[in-house]
């Protein structure tokens, strides 16, 4: 998700004047994010067998959405795919992810970042050198892999910073002239999103444009 001036104005209107959202055609998610989520949802739905699949028990979010679609069809109620997709988007944005969905998004993002894949692979290779066979690697050994843990936790807490920032802005936001803005301004950061790679220099650069 790329943030620009238009996205900033959209978020301000959505939070402070939500009644204007429909008039200007504003959405909480940009189009490219909606396209990705739609593609993932449709692919998972096809692999699950479509809306005709019998749902005996709701094991995950997709089963729940399929059951909602089936119940509405049985009661002659309209339930468009866009509304089901909106439920999925709120579930992901709200941070109600299960372990399976976290790992699924993690694998999806790794598919576009081969350099991170290589680093994870080399860390596993280094671990295997201390073991005679790969099957001897236990959970305790994997939990000590700092890079692997950083990748998984980075996906797990990817949205925490955004949620904290939005919540803090809504509670404390004030219109002030630029000259009255304190410098430096307070920035709230969730501790789970902070990582430090051992052996790497800790450099913190302040970039005003960000």
Angle, helices 61-74 vs 81-93, to 10°: value is: 150
Structure tokens at 12: 């301000």
Supply the pLDDT for residue 172.
67
- Considering only residues 176 and 68, tell me which one the structure prediction assigns the higher pLDDT: 68
What are the structural domain ranges in the chain?
5-93, 101-175+182-193
Average pLDDT over every residue of 137-157 = 73
Q: Which residues contact 38 (CB under 8 A, 6 or more apart)?
A: 85
CA 185 – CA 192 distance, rounded (Å): 21
This prediction's pTM: 0.45
List Cβ<8 Å contacts ≥24 apart for 90-98.
91/61, 92/37, 93/28, 93/29, 93/159, 95/159, 95/160, 95/163, 97/156, 98/60, 98/61
- pLDDT tens digits for range 37-71: 888 888 888 888 888 888 877 777 888 888 888 88
- pLDDT tens digits for range 4-45: 677 777 878 777 877 777 787 777 777 777 888 888 888 888
């Amino acid at each position: 998700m790329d943030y620009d001036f238009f996205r900033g104005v959209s978020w301000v209107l959505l939070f402070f004047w939500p009644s204007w959202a429909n008039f200007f055609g504003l959405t909480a998610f940009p189009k490219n994010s909606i396209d990705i989520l739609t593609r993932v949802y449709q692919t998972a739905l096809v692999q699950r067998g479509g809306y005709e699949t019998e749902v005996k028990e709701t094991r995950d979010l997709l089963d729940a959405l399929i059951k909602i679609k089936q119940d509405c069809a049985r009661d002659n109620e309209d339930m468009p795919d866009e509304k089901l997709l909106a439920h999925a988007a709120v579930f992901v944005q709200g941070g109600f992810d299960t372990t399976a969905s976290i790992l699924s998004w993690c694998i999806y993002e790794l598919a576009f970042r081969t350099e991170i894949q290589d680093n994870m692979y080399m860390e596993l290779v280094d671990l295997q050198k201390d073991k005679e066979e790969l099957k001897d690697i236990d959970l305790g050994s994997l939990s000590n892999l700092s890079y692997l843990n950083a990748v998984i936790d980075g996906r797990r807490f990817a949205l925490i910073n955004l949620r904290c920032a939005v919540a803090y802005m809504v509670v404390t936001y004030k219109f002030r002239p630029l000259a009255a803005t304190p410098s430096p301004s307070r920035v709230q950061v969730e501790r789970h999103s902070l990582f430090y790679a051992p052996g790497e220099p800790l450099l913190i650069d302040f970039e005003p444009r960000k």
